[in-house]
Amino acid sequence: MAKKTAISPTREENYPEWYQQVIKAAELAETSSVRGCMVIRPWGFGIWENLQQQLDQRIKATGHENFYCPLFIPLSHLEREAKHVEGFAKECAVVTHHRLEKTADNRLVPAGELEEPLVVRPTSETIIGETFSNWIQSYRDLPILLNQWANIVRWEMRTRMFLRTSEFLWQEGHTAHATETEARQETMMILDLYNDFVHDVLAIPTIKGEKTESERFPGAVGTYTIEALMQDKKALQAGTSHFLGQNFANAFDIKYLSEAGSEEHVWTTSWGASTRLIGGLIMTHSDDDGLVIPPKVAPQHVIILPIIHNDADKVRTLEHCEKLAASLRKQSFNNMPVRVKIDARDIRGGEKAWYWVKKGAPIRVEIGPKEIDADEVSVTRRDHSYRDRQKLKTNELIETIAEQLTAMQQNLYQRALTFREENTHDIDSEKDFYEFFKNDNGFVRAHWCGDANVEAKIQADLSVTIRCLPSEASEAGTCIFTGKPSKQMVIFARSY
């Protein structure tokens, strides 16, 4: 008899639908009346806020400052960098009018056509390039190290909540430097920052590397990525850092007067991570009972569930829960007070417990009159079985709460790392490569000579792409597709 699960279908039965049902059951987000857009509900936005705050702290610690640029970009700005506009043209939403007028039959129609159409920000390199050209005159103005938290619009045809929506939230960094060396160092420093953040905070193991030319950000000289493996064994690009060279500096005439007195173009970078990280979190850690959240980004760390059988129990039990919550909040985890919520709703205990299982709350604590009399609590961790309850003395819970949360954070990372290692394969022949991807998914490491035609054929045949040329390079070898020399193995996978 199949095990009954809170989420139906299960991952094995229908992974894409399982993903949607986890989001629904956890009350993370829902589709909106605007095509391709989502409403992020409080629990989902709580995850984003915790993620955002910790990533923001890391970005600021490297000397970057937050700023803000307009949502609207003049069409002429995009036209000034040819590869950039070509890369985003099909995804742009465009504002062409500035007011509405009523018709005779009381319908509203656009009126007041704009002299120049405005593109709703798909990314900000062009308008920031224009801004930098106004700000930078001398080598003394450099480097400029900026970041903005913003919303982005890319008119996607096929959308999936958090992974690919017409509007999404992100941070985008933009920097300008006097030398190529400084700009390249910035690009790689941010890649390392993303890698460490996703490992440490989201408990997701990733592989760092460079994108091939066909996968580069439009207008970049080099694009660097961190790639994660989801539970359906498909890859997810979790963050990118772009070395833009002098492409945007030339397009927007961003020049500075050097110490030697010569006029030079700056070197620029850009980099970003988005609400897609929440999609990655869901698909990396969650199970057939719902969401599983790494404690460092959980909106609440501990949910206290009072067990109340009658009115006589109510006051005493709730008072005890409030005292416990206050004691737990005095404890620190991840350099912050432990976050605690008491769920005193008048619903059945089992229903209430499953509600928080599906929402992925890291630790559930159940307390009733028997527990109060025994000075103990019943504790369940979300990374353990629903029935794996632990009886602890009240003070023991208070004293060990940070250890429990730390242990869960580490366990989730190790579990995801083990899964990735078990589903990463070295393949040394074209036949075995095609046979593997006809029947399975996962990360495949194989030698490739750098031929873009081979890369395109693999994508056409199997919907498989080169995810990256890993930073940790392997030994040179022979391309399994052409027999030509290969500098290193690369990572192949199907992806989101």
pLDDT tens for 147-192 read 999 999 999 888 999 999 999 999 999 999 999 999 999 999 999 9
Does pLDDT of 118 surpass 70? yes
152 and 223 fall within a common domain: yes
Residue 483 lies in a domain: yes
Distance (Å) of CA 148 to CA 152, 163, 170, 179, 427: 11, 20, 8, 23, 42
- Report the CATH number at residue 461: 3.30.110.30
- Report the CATH number at residue 369: 3.40.50.800
Rounded to whole angstroms, how far apart are CA atoms 211 and 207?
Answer: 12
Rounded to whole angstroms, how far apart are CA atoms 35 and 32?
Answer: 7
pLDDT tens for 251-272 read 999 999 999 999 999 999 999 9
89 and 32 fall within a common domain: yes
> What is the pLDDT, as a whole number, of residue 139?
98
Check if the beta carbon of residue 175 is closer than 8 Å to that of residue 187.
no
Rounded to whole angstroms, how far apart are CA atoms 200 and 412?
Answer: 11
Beta strand pairing call for 332-333 and 363-367: unpaired
Average pLDDT of the segment spanning 210-217: 96
Question: Please, which residues have CB within 8 angstroms of residue 345's CB and are 6 or more apart in sequence?
Answer: 352
pLDDT tens for 17-27 read 999 999 999 99
- CB-CB neighbours of 22 under 10 Å: 24
Angle between helices 276-285 and 15-25 (to 10 degrees): 110
> What is the pLDDT, as a whole number, of residue 355?
98
Rounded to whole angstroms, how far apart are CA atoms 376 and 370?
Answer: 9
pLDDT tens for 329-375 read 999 999 999 999 999 999 999 999 999 999 999 999 999 999 999 99
74 and 209 fall within a common domain: yes
Residue 290 lies in a domain: no
* 452-486 exposure pattern, b = at least 16 Cβ within 10 A, e = fewer: eebbeebeeeeebbbbbbbeeeeeebebbbbeeeb
Distance (Å) of CA 263 to CA 145, 253, 255: 21, 11, 6
Residue 384 lies in a domain: yes
* 213-240 exposure pattern, b = at least 16 Cβ within 10 A, e = fewer: eebbbbbbbbbbbbbbbbbbbbbbbbbb
Average pLDDT of the segment spanning 207-227: 97
Residue 9 lies in a domain: no
Residue 280 has which token pair?
Answer: 């990655």
Across 130-206, the runs of DSSP E, i.e. the strands, are 144-153, 167-177
The dihedral sign for the CA sequence 282, 287, 289, 295: negative
Rounded to whole angstroms, how far apart are CA atoms 140 and 156?
Answer: 42
What pTM value is reported for the model? 0.96
> What is the pLDDT, as a whole number, of residue 388?
92
Helix (H, G, I), strand (E, B) or coil at 158: coil
249 and 315 fall within a common domain: no
Residue 97 has which token pair?
Answer: 């009018």
Rounded to whole angstroms, how far apart are CA atoms 46 and 37?
Answer: 19
- CB-CB neighbours of 360 under 10 Å: 28
205 and 268 fall within a common domain: yes
Domain count, the chain: 3
> What is the pLDDT, as a whole number, of residue 312?
84
Residue 265 lies in a domain: yes
Query: Given 340, 371, 403, which residue is the final one in a domain?
Result: 403
Check if the beta carbon of residue 442 is closer than 8 Å to that of residue 493.
yes
| Mean of the per-residue pLDDT values of the chain | 96
Please, is 325 exposed, middle or buried when counting C-beta atoms within 10 Å of its C-beta (0-12, 13-18, 19+)?
A: middle
> What is the pLDDT, as a whole number, of residue 9?
97
Give which of 220, 214, 292 is closest to 251, Cα–Cα. Answer: 220
Residue 319 lies in a domain: yes
pLDDT tens for 413-434 read 999 999 999 999 999 999 999 9
pLDDT tens for 66-90 read 999 999 999 999 888 878 878 888 9
Check if the beta carbon of residue 146 is closer than 8 Å to that of residue 173.
yes
pLDDT tens for 279-301 read 999 999 999 999 999 999 999 99
Q: Please, where are the H alpha helices in 300-339? A: 311-329
Q: Could you list the residue range(s) of the whole structural domain that residue 433 is in? A: 426-493
Reported confidence tier of residue 2, pLDDT bands at 50, 70, 90: low
52 and 199 fall within a common domain: yes
Residue 127 lies in a domain: yes
- Report the CATH number at residue 135: 3.30.930.10
320 and 276 fall within a common domain: no
Query: Given 285, 316, 346, which residue is the final one in a domain?
Result: 285
Average pLDDT of the segment spanning 437-445: 98
Does pLDDT of 1 surpass 60? no
Residue corresponding to tokens 């408990």: 203
Residue 35 lies in a domain: yes
Does pLDDT of 130 surpass 80? yes
Query: Given 255, 285, 315, which residue is the final one in a domain?
Result: 285
